[in-house]
Chains A and B, each alone.
Chain A
Amino acid sequence: MKTFTVMLAAAAGLALTAGTAAAQEKLKIGMMVTLSGPSAVLGQHQRDGFNLALKQRGGKLGGVDAEVVLVDDELKPDVAVQKVQGLIERDKVDIVTGVTFSNVMMAIAKPVFDSRTFLVSSNAGPSPLAGRACSPFFYASSWQNDQNHETMGKYAQDKGFKRVVVMVPNYQAGKDAAAGFKRFFKGEIADEIFTQLGQLDFSAELAKIAAAKPDAVFSFMPGGMGVNLVKQYTQAGLSGRIPFLSAFTIDETTLPATQDAAVGLLGGAQWAPGSTLPASRAFVEAFEKEYGYVPALYAQQAYDSALLIDAAVKAAGGKFKDKEAMQKGFRNAQFESVRGPFKMNTNGFPVQDFYVVKVVKRADGKFQTEPVEKVFTAHEDVYAKDCPLK
Chain B
Amino acid sequence: MSLTLFAVQTLNGLQFGLMLFLVAAGLTLVFGVMDFINLAHGVQYMLGAYLTAVLAKVTGGFFTALLLAMPLTLLLGLVLERLVFRPLYARGHLDQVLATFGVILIVNEAVKLAFGAAPISVPVPEILSGSVRLMDGLLFPVYRLAIIGAGLGTALLLWLVIDGTRFGMLVRAGATNAPMVSALGVDVRRLFTAVTAFGAMLAGFAGAMVTPILSVEPGMGDGVLILAFVVIVVGGVGSIRGAFIAALIVGLVDTLGRSFATDLLKLVMSASTANHVGPALSSMAIYLLMAGVLAFRPAGLFPSRSAG
Q: Are B143 and A208 in contact (CB under 8 A)?
A: no
Please indicate the chain A residues that have their CB under 8 angstroms from the CB of B119 in the complex.
38, 41, 223-224, 227, 254, 256-257
Please indicate the chain A residues that have their CB under 8 angstroms from the CB of B116 in the complex.
41
A231/B121 contact (C-beta < 8 A), A204-B9, A237-B137 known? yes
A235/B131 contact (C-beta < 8 A), A207-B9, A224-B220 known? yes
Of residues 182 to 198 in B, which have CB atoms within 8 Å of A's CB atoms?
Answer: none
Q: Are B139 and A237 in contact (CB under 8 A)?
A: yes
Q: Are B138 and A200 in contact (CB under 8 A)?
A: no
Question: Quick check: is B174 within 8 A (CB to CB) of the other chain?
Answer: no
Question: Quick check: is B56 within 8 A (CB to CB) of the other chain?
Answer: no
Question: Quick check: is B223 within 8 A (CB to CB) of the other chain?
Answer: yes
Question: Quick check: is B35 within 8 A (CB to CB) of the other chain?
Answer: no
Q: Are A210 and B214 in contact (CB under 8 A)?
A: no
Q: Are B214 and A206 in contact (CB under 8 A)?
A: no
> What is the 8 Å Cβ interface bit string for chain A, positions 22-55, against chain B (1 contact, 0 not)?
0000000000000111111100100000000000
Q: Are A228 and B215 in contact (CB under 8 A)?
A: yes
Question: Quick check: is A122 within 8 A (CB to CB) of the other chain?
Answer: no
Q: Are B218 and A257 in contact (CB under 8 A)?
A: no
> What is the 8 Å Cβ interface bit string for chain A, positions 213-242, against chain B (1 contact, 0 not)?
100000000011001100110011110011
Question: Quick check: is A198 within 8 A (CB to CB) of the other chain?
Answer: yes
Q: Are B215 and A227 in contact (CB under 8 A)?
A: yes
Residue of B15, B121, B280 near A256 (CB, 8 A) is: B121
| Selected interface stretch from A188-196, A266-274, A278-286 | A188-196
Q: Are B12 and A231 in contact (CB under 8 A)?
A: no
Q: Are A204 and B135 in contact (CB under 8 A)?
A: no
Please indicate the chain A residues that have their CB under 8 angstroms from the CB of B13 in the complex.
204
Question: Quick check: is B16 within 8 A (CB to CB) of the other chain?
Answer: yes
B126 CB to closest chain A CB (Å) equals 14
Please indicate the chain B residues that have their CB under 8 angstroms from the CB of A198 in the complex.
223
Q: Are B121 and A40 in contact (CB under 8 A)?
A: no
From B279, which residue of chain A is reached at the shortest CB distance?
Answer: A194
Question: Quick check: is A253 within 8 A (CB to CB) of the other chain?
Answer: yes
Q: Are A258 and B5 in contact (CB under 8 A)?
A: no
Residue of A38, A201, A211 near B2 (CB, 8 A) is: A211
From A242, which residue of chain B is reached at the shortest CB distance?
Answer: B137
Q: Are B279 and A204 in contact (CB under 8 A)?
A: no
Measured in the bound complex, the distance between the Cα atoms of B124 and A161 in whole Å is 33
Question: Quick check: is A65 within 8 A (CB to CB) of the other chain?
Answer: no
Please indicate the chain B residues that have their CB under 8 angstroms from the CB of A39 in the complex.
117
Question: Quick check: is A259 within 8 A (CB to CB) of the other chain?
Answer: yes
Question: Quick check: is B144 within 8 A (CB to CB) of the other chain?
Answer: yes
Question: Quick check: is B64 within 8 A (CB to CB) of the other chain?
Answer: no
Q: Which of A193, A201, A228 has the most CB of B within 10 A?
A: A201
Q: Are B112 and A40 in contact (CB under 8 A)?
A: yes
Total count of chain A residues near the partner, CB < 8 A: 44
Question: Quick check: is B140 within 8 A (CB to CB) of the other chain?
Answer: yes
From B138, which residue of chain A is reached at the shortest CB distance?
Answer: A210
Question: Quick check: is B283 within 8 A (CB to CB) of the other chain?
Answer: yes
Q: Are A257 and B120 in contact (CB under 8 A)?
A: yes
Measured in the bound complex, the distance between the Cα atoms of B137 and A223 in whole Å is 27
Question: Quick check: is A176 within 8 A (CB to CB) of the other chain?
Answer: no
Of residues 230 to 255 in B, which have CB atoms within 8 Å of A's CB atoms?
Answer: 255
Residue of B5, B219, B275 near A37 (CB, 8 A) is: B219
From A225, which residue of chain B is reached at the shortest CB distance?
Answer: B215
A201/B139 contact (C-beta < 8 A), A170-B280, A227-B215, A256-B121 known? no
Q: Are B135 and A211 in contact (CB under 8 A)?
A: yes
Of residues 127 to 179 in B, which have CB atoms within 8 Å of A's CB atoms?
Answer: 131, 134-141, 143-144
* Interface size class, chain B: 35 or more
From B259, which residue of chain A is reached at the shortest CB distance?
Answer: A204
Q: Are B218 and A40 in contact (CB under 8 A)?
A: yes
From B143, which residue of chain A is reached at the shortest CB distance?
Answer: A235
A257/B136 contact (C-beta < 8 A), A203-B144, A231-B213 known? no
Q: Which of B16, B121, B224 has the most CB of A within 10 A?
A: B121
Residue of B8, B118, B136, B256 near A41 (CB, 8 A) is: B118
Question: Quick check: is B81 within 8 A (CB to CB) of the other chain?
Answer: no
Q: Are A236 and B141 in contact (CB under 8 A)?
A: yes
Question: Quick check: is A67 within 8 A (CB to CB) of the other chain?
Answer: no
A195/B279 contact (C-beta < 8 A), A38-B219, A41-B118, A235-B131 known? yes
Please indicate the chain A residues that have their CB under 8 angstroms from the CB of B305 in the complex.
none
Please indicate the chain A residues that have their CB under 8 angstroms from the CB of B138 in the complex.
206-207, 210-211, 236-238
> What is the 8 Å Cβ interface bit string for chain B, positions 190-232, against chain A (1 contact, 0 not)?
0000000000000000000000011111111001100000000
Q: Are B223 and A207 in contact (CB under 8 A)?
A: no
A236/B140 contact (C-beta < 8 A), A198-B223, A257-B216 known? yes
From A42, which residue of chain B is reached at the shortest CB distance?
Answer: B117
Measured in the bound complex, the distance between the Cα atoms of B98 and A313 in whole Å is 49
Task: Write the residues of chain A forming the contact surface with B, with a CB cutoff of 8 angstroms.
Answer: 35-41, 44, 170, 192-196, 198, 200-201, 203-208, 210-211, 213, 223-224, 227-228, 231-232, 235-238, 241-242, 253-254, 256-259
Given known contacts A201-B214, A203-B12, what 16 new A-B pairs fall within 8 Å (CB)? A36-B112, A38-B219, A40-B218, A44-B117, A170-B283, A196-B283, A207-B134, A207-B138, A210-B137, A211-B138, A235-B131, A235-B139, A235-B141, A236-B131, A237-B137, A256-B120
26 A-B interface contacts by CB (under 8 A)? A37-B219, A38-B218, A38-B220, A41-B118, A41-B119, A192-B275, A195-B258, A196-B258, A198-B223, A204-B9, A204-B259, A208-B5, A210-B137, A211-B5, A227-B121, A228-B213, A228-B215, A231-B215, A232-B213, A235-B141, A236-B131, A237-B131, A238-B138, A253-B118, A256-B118, A257-B216
Task: Write the residues of chain B forming the contact surface with A, with a CB cutoff of 8 angstroms.
Answer: 2, 5, 8-9, 12-13, 15-16, 19, 109, 112, 116-121, 123-124, 131, 134-141, 143-144, 213-220, 223-224, 255-256, 258-259, 262, 275, 278-280, 283
